[in-house]
């Protein structure tokens, strides 16, 4: 089925072709015509299925065809809420790419960066606003954005927003929106909380599912190694080197653990970088850019990076430590096997994590293959150098800017509005309304 059969305009088809896409994914072929009809949608879509285009394309077409409701430049017409900065930046990038031939303006706002540059961007006018909930409420409270003219609302990765404690912020945002609007809710997993949110938000929604609920992508092969905690590092090094893995996303449970493992991999001669909430904005940008351009072989991340990281053809994901929330396992391994590509997800499981593994298998409704431990000789690592403690987990290439991501947004979660603390004011780089 070609995109042209979905009822999209010539300008959008030109933009799609420029991105190199020839045929829609399952979620796109189902969601685009439904959204163009003006219906509310509840979509169960795994990450990597093309869900951003599934809502961005029809939204752009609907907004272009309708007269503006609001009279003020501070009144956006569409709102996309996301759980993390990285995802917000990437969603905004998609709107800009698909709206290349449109007169609509897209702006992204999120926490952790300066408020004033965002206020100035909003004053220039916005049609599509992509935001994290807490920073959006900050702007609404300061009167720098008016949400009373929203025509379309999207909750993207709604399950993750609930997991991160955003339910109260979401309710506050909903109270600022007009009652008459189109609502689109996308979630990789379903829970009782998601059902309650959907029941209160959506009006006679079309239900779209492109995969079994709470399931991992069928293109991802999953394996488990049962290994003592003390042997995990050596096994990981062996798997990377023996398997000649050159792009590996590794998940740890803590920020300190991510830093420590990244530093140990570097001492083993494997270029690695860590990405988590305590990293500076510049460090996270450089680490992710280095991973994408290949100068960083292993990116060690906490769960905050499980959503929003969009890396084409990522072949390997490793759970160095299993998450204690089963749904997070689905989000983690969803970084690979995207857009129909195959991928491998490996979990290193010690005795203390057996309960976590059982919970994950119960969620997936299947057992994960247990692979025998390979025979290898652990490598003795050289002693840590003072330089490695300067910014543990950040590689030399990453420190010196091995390529740059064109957004300043990062895979950093934003605390709910009620829990955020004031930080000393500073003026970090801010994404402009062109997200460049």
Most confident of 184-193, 210-219, 258-267: 258-267
**Residue 154 above 50 pLDDT?**
yes
194 and 238 part of one domain: no
Looking at residue 429, what is its pLDDT? 32
Of 209, 234, 251, the last residue of a domain is 209
pLDDT in tens, 384-424: 765 554 444 443 333 333 333 333 333 344 555 444 444 44
145 and 165 part of one domain: yes
160 and 244 part of one domain: no
CATH code of 88's domain: 3.40.50.300
CA 153 to chain centre: 18
242 and 188 part of one domain: no
Supply the mean pLDDT for the chain: 83
Number of separate domains in the chain: 2
Q: How far is CA 4 from CA 17, 30, 200, in A?
A: 11, 14, 34
DSSP 64-108: HHSPPS-SSTT--SEEEE-SBHHHHHHHHHHHHHHTTTS---EEE
pLDDT in tens, 324-337: 888 888 878 877 76
Looking at residue 220, what is its pLDDT? 85
Please report whether residue 27 resides in a domain.
yes
Please report whether residue 369 resides in a domain.
yes
Please report whether residue 187 resides in a domain.
yes
Token pair for 429: 């780089």
Looking at residue 272, what is its pLDDT? 96
Of 186, 209, 232, the last residue of a domain is 209
Mean pLDDT value across residues 69-82: 89
Please report whether residue 15 resides in a domain.
yes
pLDDT in tens, 78-104: 999 999 887 898 899 999 999 999 999
Q: What is the 3-state secondary structure (H, E, C) of 267-298?
A: HCCCCEEEECCCCCHHHHHHHHHHHHHCCCCE
Please report whether residue 422 resides in a domain.
no
96 and 158 part of one domain: yes
Please report whether residue 415 resides in a domain.
no
Please tell me the distance from the alpha carbon of residue 118 to that of residue 78, in angstroms, as a whole number: 17
387, 84 Cβ separation under 8 angstroms? no
135 and 89 part of one domain: yes
Of 165, 189, 209, the last residue of a domain is 209
199 and 248 part of one domain: no
Please report whether residue 428 resides in a domain.
no
27 and 49 part of one domain: yes
Mean pLDDT value across residues 260-270: 95
190, 311 Cβ separation under 8 angstroms? no
H/E stretch holding 399 reads helix 396-399
Token pair for 135: 């920073």
**Residue 432 above 60 pLDDT?**
no
Mean pLDDT value across residues 210-223: 69
Please report whether residue 128 resides in a domain.
yes
150 and 99 part of one domain: yes
Q: Work out the percent of the chain whose per-residue pLDDT is above 90.
A: 57
Looking at residue 412, what is its pLDDT? 42
DSSP 113-154: S-HHHHHHHHHT--SEEEE-HHHHHHHHHHTS---TT--EEE
188 and 228 part of one domain: no
237, 300 Cβ separation under 8 angstroms? no
pLDDT in tens, 8-52: 999 999 999 998 888 898 899 999 999 999 999 999 876 667 889
Place of tokens 């003072």: 386
pLDDT in tens, 225-251: 999 999 999 999 999 999 999 999 999
91 and 225 part of one domain: no
278 and 205 part of one domain: no
**Residue 213 above 70 pLDDT?**
no
Can you give the residue range of the structural domain that contains 143?
3-209
């Amino acid at each position: 089925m070609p995109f042209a059969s979905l009822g999209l305009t010539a300008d959008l088809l030109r933009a799609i072709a420029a991105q190199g896409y020839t045929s829609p994914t399952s979620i796109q072929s189902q969601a685009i015509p439904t959204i163009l009809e003006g219906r509310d949608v509840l979509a169960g879509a795994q990450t990597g299925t093309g869900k951003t285009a599934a809502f961005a394309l029809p939204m752009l077409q609907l907004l272009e065809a309708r007269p503006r409701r609001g009279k003020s430049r501070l009144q956006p017409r569409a709102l996309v809420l996301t759980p993390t900065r990285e995802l917000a930046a990437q969603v905004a990038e998609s709107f800009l790419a698909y709206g290349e031939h449109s007169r609509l303006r897209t702006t992204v706002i999120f926490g952790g960066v300066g408020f004033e540059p965002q206020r100035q961007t909003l004053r220039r006018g916005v049609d599509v606003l992509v935001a994290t909930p807490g920073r959006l409420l900050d702007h609404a409270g300061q009167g720098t954005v008016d949400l009373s003219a929203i025509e379309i609302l999207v909750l993207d990765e709604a399950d993750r927003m609930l997991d991160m404690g955003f339910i109260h912020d979401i309710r506050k945002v909903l109270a600022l929106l007009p009652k008459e609007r189109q609502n689109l809710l996308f979630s990789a997993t379903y829970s009782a909380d998601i059902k309650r949110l959907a029941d209160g938000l959506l009006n006679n929604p079309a239900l779209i599912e492109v995969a079994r609920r709470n399931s991992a992508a069928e293109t991802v092969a999953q394996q488990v190694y049962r290994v003592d905690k003390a042997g995990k590092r050596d096994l990981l090094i062996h798997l990377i080197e023996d398997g000649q893995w050159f792009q590996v996303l590794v998940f740890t449970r803590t920020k300190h653990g991510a830093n420590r493992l990244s530093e140990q991999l570097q001492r083993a001669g494997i270029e690695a970088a860590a990405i988590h909430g305590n990293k500076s904005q510049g460090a996270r940008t450089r680490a992710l850019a280095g991973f994408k351009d290949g100068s960083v072989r292993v990116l060690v991340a906490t769960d905050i990076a499980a959503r929003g990281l969009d890396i084409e053809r990522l072949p390997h994901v490793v759970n160095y430590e299993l998450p204690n929330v089963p749904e997070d396992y689905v989000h983690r391994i969803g970084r690979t096997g995207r857009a129909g590509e195959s991928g491998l997800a490996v979990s290193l499981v010690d005795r203390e994590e057996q309960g976590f593994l059982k919970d994950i298998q119960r969620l997936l409704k299947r057992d994960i293959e247990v692979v025998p431990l390979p025979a290898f000789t652990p490598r003795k690592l050289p002693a840590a150098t003072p330089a490695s403690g300067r910014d543990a987990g950040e590689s030399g290439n990453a420190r010196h800017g091995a390529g740059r991501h064109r957004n300043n947004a990062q895979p950093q979660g934003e605390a709910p509005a009620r829990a955020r603390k004031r930080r000393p004011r500073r003026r970090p780089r801010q994404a402009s309304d062109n997200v460049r």
